[in-house]
Structure 1
Amino acid sequence: MRRRYVSLAAAGLAATMTLTLTGCGSGSGGKDVALTLIAADYGDSKANSSQRYWDGLVRAFEEQNPGIKVDVKVYNWTDVDKKVEELVDSGKAPDMAQVGAYADYAARGKLYGADDLLSIPVQADFTPSLAEAGEYQRKQYGMPFGASTRRLFYNKKLFAAAGITAPPQNWSDILSDAQALKAHGVKIPFALPLGPEETQAETLEWMLAGGGDYTDQIGKYTINSPENVKTFEWLQKELVGKDLTGGDPAKLNREDAFAGFADGNVGMLNGHPTLMKQAEAKGIDYGTVELPGTTGKAKATMGVADWMMAFKQNGHRAEVGKFLDFVYSKKNVLTFSADYNLLPVTSSASQAMLADDRFSKLHGFLNQLPNAHFYPSNKTSWPLVSKTVKSRMGAVVGPQGNPSATLTDIQNIADTADNSTE
């Protein structure tokens, strides 16, 4: 699949903008068509709500396509998945939804495939790793919308004060740097947010750093692999056991860890691009590096993507495809990414961002995206596995934790769920 997308991109990328902005006739049979989209909110206030982005995009689209109307309703992340589920279960599916997961709807046969909707150049323009992450049973149903990768953030002022002259490159560096920060009085030398908010993310970051992953190359769960067990035994003994995390990781959520970094109380932590804006707003002088691994850089970083999907129920395939071709034009993808400090999901917008010095602080994150590893969101068992990870992994690194036993328990739950959905 990777080769297919790359070859398509080479053949058709230059035509993307032309095709997305032409062929703008009316809806089916000359009648106006009204499309509905439920979308997630990436803003942190009313002033920068995603509703503003969508309102502007829809106005531009409707001017070029007078026979198609688009109604976009934006919900916060706490409510959006539930809202879509309620609409689908009540027989009132929206034409499109931009949310966190797609596999369950694909498995139930409710979605159009990407190749049923998009022009070839637009579909070929998706970053290949993201396109592959959007596949269910080897067909793409999830169209990536907004992406990020992870890097290690460090506070330059705290590092300098503790006599640390370079950022960590491996786990030995993390340990020695954390010890130096603690000796200098830093409240949280290394923030390890394994609280329930986003445990599944921090868990994957450390799995990758230790040479493991949630799954292997053919999609089989490998949660209790020797690499993963060793990783969490190291965290338990070297960071938590030596009091270098400033408290119990099971009680620390990502949001609080980020706030602590922005307040100058955290020496190091794994973070995504939105932390940059948060830290800069508080005047923190920070740096970022690729995630350190056991003896050098991690084999890969974690990538996260949210998903656009299109439901078959209302039958507006042609109109939805025309709208999504417009959504995924280089200009619109770049605008959205810039507005919300996210990474573009298309090759053309990524190239434009890399060529623009205004986005230099995002370049390190963006360069990692092609080889990033994602949640196994193409597995219908993943929501249960993710929920289990959230409830169990925080305690693993505590004084009473048993990494091997807990990871094996989660592995068994994952295998059972996986087998029941085949």
Structure 2
Amino acid sequence: MSKKKLLGTLALVICIAMVAGLLLTGCQGAGGKKGESGKFTFVIAQYSNATEPFARKVVEDFQKENKNIEIDLQVVGWDIIEQKINTMVSTKQAPDLLNFSYFSRFVEDDLLMEVEEVISPELKEKFYDSFYDACKIDGKAYAMPFLASIRSLYYNKAVFEQAGITEPPKTWSELIDVCKVIKEKTGIDPFGIEMTNFEGQAFFAYFIWGNGGDFKRDGKWVINSPENIEAVQFMVDLINKEKATNPQPTAINRDELQKVFGQGKLGMLITANFFPTILKSEAPDCEYGIAPIPVNEGKPPMSLGVQDFLMIFNSTKVPGAIGKFLDFFFEDSRYEEFMNIEGMLPATETAGKIMAGKDETIKQFIDLLPVAKFYPLTDPKYGEMRLEIIKACQEAILGEKTVEQALNDAQKKAEG
């Protein structure tokens, strides 16, 4: 080959390489990950009145540092978020980044990215292993932990003092006795129960787990197990026979009950570790105590651990930009601030250590995590069955069906 031809060939090779490089850069962006600039939609649930101001400030701060990324932030109330998401998905307008209480149904419909395609290794290492493992289906993580809460029994100290009660109930029989005394000596509703679509499944969980029951066993739904029937019957009797609860549990949600408690009109309520933050803001004069959730005699202690998730829909065009934002959001001091504002437990071990070192009450809640049980969120039918379980409990409370009939019907739906 002549020198002239050799130089021509080398020039052609260099040009091809340069074009390939430019194409690759255009696809990946400066940081080497696809879609590191552009616009994405972030739908986040409203945990409190403080959620939106905080989230908007985070987005604004992020966009100042990343002028090539625009975030369409949508803060949606828990009472309508499920309907909104269903509408967005069915109309092919799924959000890019979503904060929600379950994700398995979206995996079943092949709508989510594996999060490790998006998040940095440094962020992945921050999460508690148990939280991150709960985001996996068939060994692959399709969501990431966002935040967590743990449930306890809160009791009004003034009501207890007025009734002459010195200790909160530990067992179901003690719960009935304490409720009777509160009712007789104060006239105040002793114990709060909600059975609405807001969070009725939580009260189902408190009672079935407190009796050795469960949602599923060995991979199969067991809604109508003997333990569950006995537990729901106890709850129904507490409402209808003992008259130990707020009236009309099917018509008042958890947030409304929390306000009643703060007003001194409710003796006891099972709710989450964010409740002290709400009381401090809305009812600063309310003196309360915290105790484990009562269980049936001889049953082990338990609590409900609730984890909400972040997930990335595979329709997104900017996974790289989302990855950048997640690193920014979960920066320890920023994430700690969010947890403190909302009264939640952090999903990252790094923030957990910081918060536990500063606050003994938070440490107390974090220490409860080993006895926590979780909803079967990795089952694609959970979203549907959550509503079926609430419906069954409502039917039993309202006397439309016996407890056994209602749970049998819910079980048929689970098996269908």
Aligned partners of 1:189, 1:233: CA distance in 2, in Å?
19
Paired residue type of 1:253: N
- The correspondence of residues 95-174 of structure 1 with structure 2, limited to 5 A, is 95-174=96-175
Q: Is the deviation greater in 234-243 or in 220-229?
A: 234-243
CA shift at 1:399, angstroms? Answer: 5.9
Q: 1:318 aligns with which of 299, 320, 331?
A: 320
Decide whether aligned partners of structure 1 residues 89 and 395 sit closer, same or farther in structure 2, where only a CA change above 3 A counts.
closer
Aligned partners of 2:251, 2:80: CA distance in 1, in Å?
24
Aligned partners of 2:39, 2:246: CA distance in 1, in Å?
53
Decide whether aligned partners of structure 1 residues 198 and 65 sit closer, same or farther in structure 2, where only a CA change above 3 A counts.
same
Aligned partners of 2:201, 2:246: CA distance in 1, in Å?
21
Decide whether aligned partners of structure 1 residues 334 and 182 sit closer, same or farther in structure 2, where only a CA change above 3 A counts.
same
CA shift at 1:369, angstroms? Answer: 3.0
Decide whether aligned partners of structure 1 residues 337 and 297 sit closer, same or farther in structure 2, where only a CA change above 3 A counts.
farther
Does the alignment pair 1:337 with 2:342? no
CA shift at 1:136, angstroms? Answer: 2.8
CA shift at 1:311, angstroms? Answer: 1.5
Does the alignment pair 1:302 with 2:307? no
Contact 1:125 1:347 in 2 (8 A): yes
Paired residue type of 2:318: H
- The correspondence of residues 200-215 of structure 1 with structure 2, limited to 5 A, is 200-215=201-216
Aligned partners of 2:208, 2:75: CA distance in 1, in Å?
34
Q: Is the deviation greater in 35-44 or in 54-63?
A: 54-63
Any idea what the Cα deviations from partners look like across 1:38-87, whole Å, max 9, x if unmatched?
2222233xxx3x33222322344344444433332322233433333333
Q: Is the deviation greater in 391-400 or in 187-196?
A: 391-400
- SS, match of residue 166 in structure 1: coil
Aligned partners of 2:134, 2:36: CA distance in 1, in Å?
36
CA shift at 1:116, angstroms? Answer: 1.4
CA shift at 1:203, angstroms? Answer: 0.8
CA shift at 1:298, angstroms? Answer: 4.9
Aligned partners of 1:297, 1:114: CA distance in 2, in Å?
38
Any idea what the Cα deviations from partners look like across 1:348-405, whole Å, max 9, x if unmatched?
1111111112xx4333333223542222222221122111122220342466752222
Aligned partners of 1:87, 1:247: CA distance in 2, in Å?
37
Contact 1:190 1:266 in 2 (8 A): yes
- The correspondence of residues 139-288 of structure 1 with structure 2, limited to 5 A, is 139-216=140-217, 218-237=218-237, 240-280=240-280, 281-282=282-283, 283-288=285-290
Paired residue type of 2:122: P
Aligned partners of 1:234, 1:31: CA distance in 2, in Å?
55
Decide whether aligned partners of structure 1 residues 68 and 26 sit closer, same or farther in structure 2, where only a CA change above 3 A counts.
farther
Decide whether aligned partners of structure 1 residues 321 and 259 sit closer, same or farther in structure 2, where only a CA change above 3 A counts.
same
Contact 1:194 1:250 in 2 (8 A): yes
Aligned partners of 1:362, 1:30: CA distance in 2, in Å?
38
Gaps of 5+ in 2: 1-28
Decide whether aligned partners of structure 1 residues 91 and 195 sit closer, same or farther in structure 2, where only a CA change above 3 A counts.
closer
Paired residue type of 1:144: P
Aligned partners of 1:97, 1:326: CA distance in 2, in Å?
16
Aligned partners of 2:34, 2:388: CA distance in 1, in Å?
49
Gaps of 5+ in 1: 1-23, 417-422
Any idea what the Cα deviations from partners look like across 1:106-129, whole Å, max 9, x if unmatched?
112221112212223322322233
Any idea what the Cα deviations from partners look like across 1:226-281, whole Å, max 9, x if unmatched?
22122122233456412222434334432332222111111112111343244443
Paired residue type of 2:118: L
Contact 1:188 1:246 in 2 (8 A): yes
What is the aligned partner in structure 1 of residue 390 from structure 2? 390
What is the aligned partner in structure 2 of residue 39 from structure 1? 44
Aligned partners of 2:36, 2:163: CA distance in 1, in Å?
69
Aligned partners of 1:251, 1:55: CA distance in 2, in Å?
33
How many residues matched?
Answer: 386
Identity over the aligned pairs, expressed in percent? 27
Q: Is the deviation greater in 343-352 or in 276-285?
A: 276-285
Contact 1:223 1:410 in 2 (8 A): yes
Aligned partners of 1:61, 1:392: CA distance in 2, in Å?
45
Aligned partners of 1:138, 1:214: CA distance in 2, in Å?
22
CA shift at 1:28, angstroms? Answer: 6.2
Aligned partners of 1:116, 1:235: CA distance in 2, in Å?
45
Aligned partners of 1:246, 1:41: CA distance in 2, in Å?
26
Q: Is the deviation greater in 375-384 or in 398-407?
A: 398-407
Q: TM-score scaled to structure 2, two decimals?
A: 0.84
Contact 1:337 1:344 in 2 (8 A): yes
Q: TM-score scaled to structure 1, two decimals?
A: 0.83
Rg (Cα) greater in structure = 2
CA shift at 1:155, angstroms? Answer: 0.8
Decide whether aligned partners of structure 1 residues 249 and 58 sit closer, same or farther in structure 2, where only a CA change above 3 A counts.
closer
Contact 1:154 1:269 in 2 (8 A): yes
